Amino acid sequence: MNAAGTARENGMTVDAVPSVQVRDVVKEFHLDDGQRLVALDGMSLEIPAESFVALIGPSGCGKSTVLRMIASLDTPTSGSVTVNGNPPAALAANHRLGVAFQDHALLPWLDVRRNIELPYRVSGMPVDAERVSQLIALVGLTGLERARPKQLSGGLRQRVAIARSLVLRPEVLLLDEPFGALDAVTRRHMNYEMQRIWAEEKLTTLLVTHSVDEALFLADRVLVMSARPGHVIQSLDVPFERPRTVETMRSELFHRLQDELTAALDSRAEP
């Protein structure tokens, strides 16, 4: 499967420095009763610049913890996490990081437009009104600029959160189950939208999800994590050309890869 590669990878220099590197990370949590919980052990991954990597794994395997480390919201017990060779905190401090959380994390007292403008205000940069309008159009929220988050459906809120994560053209985009709370139809719809947006923005992206379909449809490479203590047990370079369509998802290869990844997820669930 790796031999197939992707069009994108073929176009890149072979020894390009990976944008995001997670190396031999161990993460331990100390529980209230004094016990230690090893969430991650020997966790390594690379996200090459301008590529889309999806991380899938059983719930509780620590995939969100990996994302939180790259977002500098959490630190490894041992091992290293770097972004372009720097500690991840530097990326956040320079306002070069975009994150869409599972919970949309919109501020309820701001309307749609103000929520999307928030990264400008936090970074102290002047608000690029045109960029904001473009993004509002890109995620399909035109006409809802003045609406408050509580007036929007779950899918629309998630679009606002995605627009907000993209607004500063971040170096790294982290998506933590952004569609996890949506129904299947909305979710599939959001996947199409996400692909369209990503085709326009081409960002170094990590998607954490438990949906095999979503990972295969969106990513250049899918990494499968083991159950706790989590580490990568399989890496798959997705062979489909972009843009991917409904036909892609109906193809025999898609189903075969889907089965393969599902099996990889499942193998660790058995004792």
Partner 1 sequence: MAAVARREKGSALLGALGIGMFLLAWEVIGQNRWLGLTWPALSDVVDYLFTPSRQTLFLRALTASLGSLVIGYCLGLVAGIAAAMFAHTVSATRSGLDTMSAFIHAIPSIALAPLFIVFLGRENTPAALAALSTFFVMYVTTTSSFASSRPEWIDLMRVLGASRFDRLRMLDIPAAIPIIVGGMRLAAPSSLIGVIIGEWFGASRGVGVLIINAMQNFQIPLLWSAVVLAVIVSLSLFALFGLLQKYAERRFR
Pairing of strands 204-209, 221-225: unpaired
Site for partner 1 in 139-158 (CB under 8 A): 150
Site for partner 1 in 208-267 (CB under 8 A): none
Site for partner 1 in 10-69 (CB under 8 A): none
* Pairwise CA distance, residues 53 & 220, whole Å: 6
Structure tokens at 28: 């331990």
Lay out the site mask for partner 1 across 176-215 (x = CB under 8 A, - = otherwise).
----------------------------------------
Nearest to 191 by CA among 143, 241, 155: 155
Nearer residue to partner 1 within complex by CB, 102 or 235:
102
From candidates 3, 34, 109, 185, binder to partner 1 by CB under 8 A: 109
Is residue 105 a contact point for partner 1 (CB under 8 A)?
yes
How many other CB atoms are there within 10 angstroms of residue 38's CB atom? 14
Are the CB atoms for 59 and 230 separated by under 8 Å?
no
Is residue 71 a contact point for partner 1 (CB under 8 A)?
yes
Nearer residue to partner 1 within complex by CB, 72 or 251:
72
- Return the amino acid letter for 98: G
- Go through the chain and tell me how many residues it has: 271
Nearer residue to partner 1 within complex by CB, 48 or 170:
170
Kindly compute the dihedral angle of the four CA atoms of residues 179, 181, 138, 246, in this order, to the nearest 10 degrees.
50
| Candidate segments 75-83, 91-99, 205-213, 214-222, binder of partner 1 by CB under 8 A | 91-99
Q: Is 205 helix (H, G, I), strand (E, B) or coil?
A: strand
Nearer residue to partner 1 within complex by CB, 70 or 257:
70
From candidates 49, 118, 127, 181, binder to partner 1 by CB under 8 A: 118
Structure tokens at 248: 């892609």
| Candidate segments 29-37, 42-50, 70-78, 152-160, binder of partner 1 by CB under 8 A | 70-78
Q: Strand 36-47's sheet: what is its strand order?
A: 36-47, 20-30, 78-83
Is residue 125 a contact point for partner 1 (CB under 8 A)?
no
- Return the amino acid letter for 102: Q
Is residue 97 a contact point for partner 1 (CB under 8 A)?
yes
Are the CB atoms for 148 and 111 separated by under 8 Å?
yes
From candidates 21, 27, 40, 101, binder to partner 1 by CB under 8 A: 101
Are the CB atoms for 220 and 237 separated by under 8 Å?
yes
From candidates 95, 210, 242, 268, binder to partner 1 by CB under 8 A: 95
- Which residues would be at the binding site for partner 1 (CB under 8 A)? 71-73, 92-95, 97, 99, 101, 103, 105, 107-109, 118-119, 121-123, 150, 174
